[in-house]
Amino acid sequence: MVITYLGKSLIKIQVGDLVVAVNPYEKDGTKKGPKFGADIVLAGNQTADYGATDNMTYGNKVPFVALGPGEYDIAGVYIKGVLTEPEGESIKDKDHINTAYNVLIEGMHVCHLGAIQKGELDPKVKEALGEVDILFVPISGKDAVSAKDAHKLATALEPSIVIPVNHEGDKDKELKTFLKELGEESVKGEVKAVLKKKDVDGKEGEVMVLLPQ
């Protein structure tokens, strides 16, 4: 499994010819968001920062798109979408209601928290998400938690590997804060992650930083 971070909250997961995209965005400032062909697209919410699903249709590839909670089994990939704020009362704009996804792919549970807005995870949400091997957690952004709250979430879900998103690279202030909270200030950024099940087994909260491409 090859994982690439493409800025904001967008993650590209590739296993052979199969491509999964999580949280595609429309643009970053004046720069347009990435466009490529995906087989499966998971949108955390329906805003331009997390739900630009049209960007993931390219050439002959028309992806399966998940826009909210539910269970999906596509091309041998099992996906579970869970609302991170099940009460839904604190968010007036329905487009901002966030879904976290836990994806079982190549024997690994890969979870992306999307635009989660609370630093404490509802016990029902934690139970629904289940086992997490690789966790993508936002560390900044107007629609997501702060770096300090991200640390709480990463600890609560007990993943094998933690990968922060919503940052701009090694010099990002929020990234430095997040790494400091975890006592991992020496971690260096990588262009991509190539992981197999054996690479996550036995690890406890190891931090991996992917540089936006």
Q: Measure the CA–CA gap between 83 and 97, rounded to whole angstroms.
A: 8
Cβ proximity of 117 and 143 under 8 Å: yes
For the chain, domain boundaries: 2-210
- Residue 58's pLDDT is 87
> CATH class for domain 2-210?
alpha beta
Question: Taking a C-beta distance cutoff of 8 angstroms, is the pair 115, 141 a contact?
Answer: yes
pTM: 0.94
How confident is the prediction along the chain (213 residues), in pLDDT tens digits per residue? 999 999 999 999 999 999 999 999 998 877 789 999 999 999 999 999 999 999 999 888 889 999 999 999 999 999 999 999 865 555 556 667 899 999 999 999 999 999 998 888 999 999 999 999 999 999 987 677 888 899 999 999 999 999 999 999 989 999 999 999 888 988 999 999 999 999 999 999 999 999 999
Q: Which of 39, 93, 91 is nearest to 66 (CA)?
A: 39
